[in-house]
Structure 1
């Protein structure tokens, strides 16, 4: 699976994302800037695409209210 573009709003500390990843991406930034939250978002998209979202949510201890926009 290759993500061509990611448009997302309101996930954890990430206010708004409009990102078109390349073949290789490096995520850098200071502590508290949202690097781990971006990786969690990508993990959530991956398990959802694999049909395992329910199990993932149960293992994670529930879900926070957030907006989902998949294109």
Structure 2
């Protein structure tokens, strides 16, 4: 009886872990899709900026879109 109870508990834990793994995989897939969309969006914006004759401030994407330079009336992008 005790062994069966332990086996049942272990089976429940295994099922929960399998569900957790499935949830994590789903989240990773969604995050990957979002990242790919963001990359494509940045490419489109960069191409548009180039077509407008504007120079991008940072093409690495690491700044998070924050412009850290000094803007004065003579050098407004």
- Whether the TM-score (by the shorter chain) exceeds 0.5 is no
Please give the TM-score of this superposition, normalised by the length of structure 1: 0.31
- Based on CA coordinates, which of the two structures has the bigger radius of gyration? 2
Q: Work out which structure has the larger RCO, using CA pairs closer than 8 Å and 6 or more positions apart in sequence.
A: 1
| Richer in strand (by share) | 1
| Richer in helix (by share) | 2
